[in-house]
């Protein structure tokens, strides 16, 4: 079973949903900036629930996130587009991020935790990370602001104010509504 927007080596894919979930999480650890960025619950029962849910549903979720990446990429000329893969994953709350863009992988990897923001804002979260991919760096400088503005205008989102240059404000643009319990999204199966 494919995992959606990316190419997980087929040799690791098993029929059992729990095994698929475990394989998926291990693979994502290799795409993260640090393996510990991928949140794995400490309790074995929660680990089983998470892996079972991932094994049964991750392909559909990743395809949805991939449509957001495609919409973002449509805002650029083909020769300006970065090659990007996107995956949903629980992110470790210790890192205090809702998503990450690893520009060191090829293709560039965006890891999104859809449990951390309401579904209506997933597109915004992806757009922020696509801006990082287009800039090619993790910072929130003027170049990032320019790309973020371009994406927001192309997607029909509110762009950052022209005077907005403070890094801390750009770190959370476009604004997304947080969920009450990020873990509930992943532990429902």
Note the pLDDT tens digit of each residue in 18-67: 999 999 999 999 999 999 999 999 999 999 999 999 999 999 999 999 99
pTM of the model: 0.90
Rounded Cα gap, residues 136 and 142, in angstroms: 13
Q: Is the pLDDT of residue 183 over 80?
A: yes
CA end-to-end span of the chain: 18
Find, among 108, 24, 141, the residue nearest to 100 by Cα. 108
pLDDT confidence bin for 78, thresholds 50/70/90: very high
* Coil, strand or helix at 157: coil
Rounded Cα gap, residues 163 and 169, in angstroms: 11
Residue 13 has what pLDDT? 52
Q: Is the pLDDT of residue 107 over 60?
A: yes
Task: Tell me the average pLDDT across 141-146.
Answer: 91
Find, among 93, 120, 109, the residue nearest to 30 by Cα. 109
């Amino acid at each position: 079973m494919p995992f959606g927007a990316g190419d997980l080596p087929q040799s690791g894919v098993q029929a059992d949903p729990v095994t698929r979930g475990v394989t998926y999480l291990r693979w994502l650890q290799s795409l993260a900036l640090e393996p510990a960025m991928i949140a794995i619950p400490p309790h074995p029962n929660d680990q089983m629930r998470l892996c079972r849910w991932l094994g049964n549903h991750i392909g559909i979720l990743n395809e949805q996130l991939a449509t957001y990446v495609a919409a973002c990429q449509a805002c650029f000329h083909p020769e300006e587009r970065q090659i990007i893969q996107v995956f949903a994953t629980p992110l470790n709350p210790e890192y205090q991020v809702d998503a990450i863009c690893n520009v060191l992988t090829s293709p560039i990897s965006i890891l999104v935790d859809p449990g951390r923001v309401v579904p209506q804002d997933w597109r915004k979260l992806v757009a922020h990370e696509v801006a990082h991919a287009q800039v090619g760096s993790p910072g929130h400088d003027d170049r990032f602001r320019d790309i973020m503005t371009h994406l927001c205008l192309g997607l029909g989102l509110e762009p950052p104010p022209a005077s907005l240059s403070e890094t801390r404000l750009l770190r959370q643009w476009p604004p997304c509504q947080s969920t009450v319990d990020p873990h509930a999204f992943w532990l429902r199966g």
